[in-house]
Amino acid sequence: MSLVQRSWKIVLAASPFFSICLWNSSDLATCEQPRDRGPCTESFPRFYYDAHSKNCSAFDFGSCNGNRNNFMTIEDLEWCLMFLPEKADRLPS
């Protein structure tokens, strides 16, 4: 059974303390979501995948809400991208 056929989920909380990839075949893919710093005013350095430019970029996360395209490290983001086989061409070189 391929990854695309499975429907699995790893929980992600948009927290200043951790980031985990979340993907479900019925959800908008984590890395397809737009950058969203959230409404709070804190400033935590994070990374997101910009689907339009096909680049991993840094942004300041406000510490609450936002969306799943929010990673503590570039390595976390790259790891998440690896689990989207139909998006494999989007991995940074």
Radius of gyration of the chain (CA): 13
On whether residue 46 sits in a domain, the answer given is yes
24: in domain: no
Predicted pLDDT of residue 57: 93
In a domain, 71, yes or no: yes
Consecutive 10-residue averages of pLDDT for the chain (93 residues):
37 47 58 91 93 90 92 87 59 49
CA dist 5 and 82 (Å) reads 16
Question: How many separate domains does the chain show?
Answer: 1
Domain of 65, in residue numbers: 30-90
Q: 5 in a domain, yes or no?
A: no
Please report the pLDDT score of residue 6 as a whole number.
37
At residue 55, φ and ψ (nearest 5 deg) are: -130, 150
pLDDT score for 26: 46
Q: The tokens of 59 are what?
A: 């942004």
Residue 44 lies in a domain: yes
Q: Are 30 and 45 in contact (CB under 8 A)?
A: no
CATH number for position 86? 4.10.410.10
Instruction: Report if residue 18 sits inside a domain.
Output: no
Question: What's the pLDDT score for residue 61?
Answer: 95
**pLDDT number for residue 2:** 36
User: What global pTM score does this model have?
Assistant: 0.64
